Amino acid sequence: MNHRKLLYPSFKVLIVDDEEPFIRSLSIALERSAGINNIRKCQESRDVMGILSEGGFGLVLLDLNMPYLSGDKLLEQITSEYPEVVVIIISGINQIEPAVRCMKLGAYDYFVKTNEEDRLVRGVNRAIQMVEMAKEHKEIRSRLLHDRLENPDAFEEILTCDKSMRAVFQYLESVAKSSMPILITGESGVGKELFAHTAHRLSGVEGPLVSINVAGLDDNVFSDTLFGHAPGAFTSAHEVRKGMIEQAAHGTLFLDEIGDLSVTSQVKLLRLIQNGEYYPLGSDRPKRMNSRIVVATNQDLDKKQAAGEFRKDLYYRLCAHHVHIPPLRVRRDDIPLLLNHFLGEAAEALGKKRPTYPRELETLLANYPFPGNVRELQAMVYDAVSTHKSKVLSLDSFKRKIGAMTLAPNGPEAETDQQDERIFVSSKSLPSIHDVADLLVSEAMKRADGNQSIASRLIGISQPALSKRLKKQKQGE
């Protein structure tokens, strides 16, 4: 498949120098070492402001000593008229005074024309990342302020009516085009892979999404899977094998379960992200990575860092953009929406007519904490539909799956529980057992939406016993 040349970064970089050989040399170095190819060249200092007026520029690499207009004069004009454009001064003069003067005028950095090409490229990379982050933060603020989505169709696979999820959508849409990695976190079953697919669609890249689950891969398998190998790299390597990085060219490389990656493999991934290049096994010729990276995990990487199981430098690289997906138990309004969707999906897959369900089912599910999140709800629905025979869906299958229910520990109810606890602690005298029992019964009936069958399961007593307590409460009023 042929792809047109993709430009990096997303904004244009203007190189200004009256010496054409230096412009050519620097352009080659930037593209070879860092993949920077969205470059505009200018040898005439008097043309610079006109070029910038075309728009789309984020960085200017500016020679200090040029005919007609000197670099410091241009620097003043650029910072005044285009304050969002970052300027790096590149000079043949290795003196402190000009460097200090340029920094005071607003230059981001100052480099001397020497043979230290790598240092200059690193400096340009830092500036690009700073400009990208500034643009992304501005975009995030704008989207959150106006509560808008530019590409709502990209999220059609993710069913939700929750406000916190909409905020996650807005953030993901703002950072999806970034060249920096995106870290997706959330409990098992919340739909991290769906978010990775959405990030890929929003990114605008032309290549494919290539997914790898790295859990359980030893270092050799990880290297071979990611980097590929040359013939003779090991005994069974008879021909070239393209790694997943090469297969994801001009697209997205998605690494799932990144929290399970061995420390040795973490080092290799860190070098890949830092340098943007890699070596296939058995090869001494490096290849450039031209795909963006998305990673996901259900583990707490902060705890793994503290335990020495996950490298801090890799974590900081990966979490440049962090998307956290809230669990289902804190977005209970999504349960009816997902329930109806999975009912239709299951009925179609199993060749059955879509069943209706009793109103009590939504209440029953709303009081379950769903440790397996959306995936667990989907499995419950499929199991219930597979055994369904009458017109109305039975609650029995769901009750068997849920088992002995307890009060959900999270969500809005948890705050109420904490308030009650504070009342008990601050009270001069503790409430009686009778008062606590009445409070527990009232709370269970509230959460069960008045359904005695569900309320009795919540507090672990039989329905007749609950009914008896409710009658006593009414008599005592």
Listed by start position, the domains of the chain span 12-137, 162-326, 329-402, 412-476
| Domain spanning 162-326, CATH class | alpha beta
pLDDT at 145: 63
> Could you tell me the two tokens for 258?
């990144």
A 10 A CB-CB count for 172 gives 22
* pLDDT of amino acid 239: 82
Domain pair 12-137 / 162-326, same fold: yes
Q: List phi, psi (to 5°) of 213.
A: -90, 110
Taking every pair of Cα atoms in the chain, the longest distance, rounded to a whole number of angstroms, is 98
Interatomic CA distance for residues 291 and 179, integer angstroms: 9
Q: Is 0.85 surpassed by the pTM of this model? A: no
The CB density around residue 300, as the number of other CB atoms within 10 Å, is 13
Q: Which helix (H) or strand (E) holds 229?
A: strand 228-229
For the segment(s) 412-476, the CATH number from 1.10.20.140, 3.20.20.60, 1.10.10.60, 3.40.50.300 is 1.10.10.60
Q: Which CATH superfamily is domain 12-137 in?
A: Response regulator (3.40.50.2300)
Q: Which residues on adjacent β-strands are paired with residue 209?
A: 252
pLDDT in tens, the chain (477 residues): 444 556 788 899 999 999 999 999 999 999 888 889 999 999 999 999 999 999 999 999 999 989 999 998 999 999 999 999 999 999 887 788 888 999 999 999 999 887 677 889 889 989 998 898 888 777 777 666 667 788 899 999 999 999 899 999 999 998 898 888 999 999 999 999 999 999 999 998 889 999 999 998 999 999 999 999 888 777 777 788 889 999 999 999 999 999 999 999 999 999 999 888 899 998 888 888 889 999 999 999 989 998 999 999 999 989 889 999 999 999 999 999 999 999 999 999 999 999 999 988 998 999 899 999 999 999 999 999 998 887 889 888 898 888 745 444 444 444 444 444 444 444 455 667 777 778 888 888 888 888 888 888 888 788 888 888 888 777 766
329-402 in CATH: which number? 1.10.8.60
Integer Cα distance of 139 and 124 in angstroms: 23
**How confident is the model at residue 108, as a pLDDT?**
93
Residues 6+ apart with CB under 8 A from 62: 16, 71, 74, 75, 78, 87, 88, 89, 90
